[in-house]
């Protein structure tokens, strides 16, 4: 795969990335930093956030990243995270709404999903996207430029069973992406969503058996497992000046598992 991060494309830009203490978010933080951006890691797990920040600093130098502990579903915590980012870097150009609950969820029929679990998924996966976007939008409006990238999921188009709360939350992300694109376009802000397929990262996926991994490959046109780098390449494009006329789109990055 071509490394799209070995550039200074985002020099002078600041990317705020939620859920960047592991998995896809970790790869985003390191990739955007390599491409020249300053990085604000917004992560509930303080140790994980600091660990990724240390990785970024080791590769890209001191002063390139800050780690902020925040619950994206807490309005006051989100506002404080935005304020801390502005104090450190003076601007926010890119917001990537990646924080979500999924890997800890158990597959079960929707009628067996505890309501408390349903609400927690909605709180993080839906409320978090709205709150972070809401807090970043005025900053981007002031710059007359901005990129909001929301991480949805291919399960929306597949209608994947036994994860109704997750599927519903990621469908909401697609709807919010379209509505926010309509509201923010006149201010030079684009809003797009990525729909990953089954993406394998360092996060242990106990729910995925060897047989299921084989099934995943059989469903894809491209016969290899998806990695976070596949998503990074798409995110770098959407955040770039080359994508200034692309907004309101939900782009599947899944090796051809779904067609839309």
Q: Is residue 2 scored above 60 in pLDDT? A: no
Please tell me the predicted confidence (pLDDT) of residue 163. Answer: 97
Please tell me the predicted confidence (pLDDT) of residue 205. Answer: 61
Find the range with the poorest average confidence among 184-193, 202-211, 212-221. Answer: 202-211
Q: What is the pLDDT of residues 54-90, one digit of tens each?
A: 999 999 999 999 999 999 999 999 999 999 999 999 9
Please tell me the predicted confidence (pLDDT) of residue 3. Answer: 61
Please tell me the predicted confidence (pLDDT) of residue 210. Answer: 87
Would you kindly state where each structural domain of the chain is located, as residue ranges? 14-253
The highest-level CATH class for domain 14-253 is alpha beta
Confidence label for 226 from pLDDT (cuts 50, 70 and 90): confident
- Prediction pTM value: 0.95
The catalytic residues are 166
Q: Is residue 37 scored above 80 in pLDDT? A: yes
Using H for helix, E for strand and C for coil, what is the string for the chain?
CCCCCCCCCCCCCEEEEECCCCHHHHHHHHHHHHCCCEEEEEECCHHHHHHHHHHHHHHHCCCCEEEEECCCCCHHHHHHHHHHHHHHHCCCCEEEECCCCCCCCCCCCHHHCCHHHHHHHHHHHHHHHHHHHHHHHHHHHHHCCEEEEEECCCHHHHCCCCCHHHHHHHHHHHHHHHHHHHHHHHHCEEEEEEEECCECCCCCCCCCCHHHHHHHHHHCCCCCCECHHHHHHHHHHHHCHHHCCCCCCEEEECCCCCCC
Q: Is residue 24 scored above 90 in pLDDT? A: yes
Q: What is the pLDDT of residues 117-162, one digit of tens each?
A: 999 999 999 999 999 999 999 999 999 999 999 999 999 999 999 9
Please tell me the predicted confidence (pLDDT) of residue 200. Answer: 85
Q: Is residue 203 scored above 80 in pLDDT? A: no
| Average pLDDT for 163-173 | 99
Find the range with the poorest average confidence among 7-21, 194-208, 233-247. Answer: 194-208
Q: Is residue 7 scored above 80 in pLDDT? A: no
């Amino acid at each position: 795969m071509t490394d799209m991060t070995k550039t200074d494309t985002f020099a002078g830009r600041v990317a705020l990335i939620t859920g960047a203490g592991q998995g896809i978010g970790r790869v985003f933080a390191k990739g955007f930093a390599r491409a020249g951006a300053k990085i604000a890691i917004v992560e509930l797990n303080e140790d994980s956030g600091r660990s990724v920040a240390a990785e970024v600093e080791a590769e890209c130098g001191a002063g390139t990243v800050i780690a902020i502990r925040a619950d994206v579903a807490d309005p006051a915590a989100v506002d404080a995270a935005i304020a801390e980012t502005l104090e450190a870097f003076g601007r926010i150009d890119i917001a990537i709404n990646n924080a979500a609950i999924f890997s800890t969820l158990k597959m079960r029929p929707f009628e067996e999903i505890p309501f408390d679990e349903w609400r927690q998924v909605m709180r993080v996966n839906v409320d978090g996207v709205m709150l972070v976007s809401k807090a970043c939008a005025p900053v981007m409006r002031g710059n007359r430029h901005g990129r909001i990238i929301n991480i949805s999921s291919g399960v929306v188009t597949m209608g994947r069973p036994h994860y109704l709360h997750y599927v519903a939350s990621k469908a909401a992300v697609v709807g919010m992406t379209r509505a926010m694109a309509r509201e923010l376009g006149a201010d030079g802000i684009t809003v797009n969503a990525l729909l990953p397929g089954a993406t394998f990262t360092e996060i242990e996926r106990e729910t995925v058996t060897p047989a299921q991994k084989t099934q995943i490959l059989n469903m894809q046109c491209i016969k290899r497992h998806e990695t976070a780098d596949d998503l990074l390449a798409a995110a770098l494009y959407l955040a770039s000046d080359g994508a200034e006329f692309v907004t309101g789109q939900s782009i599947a990055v899944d090796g051809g598992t779904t067609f839309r």
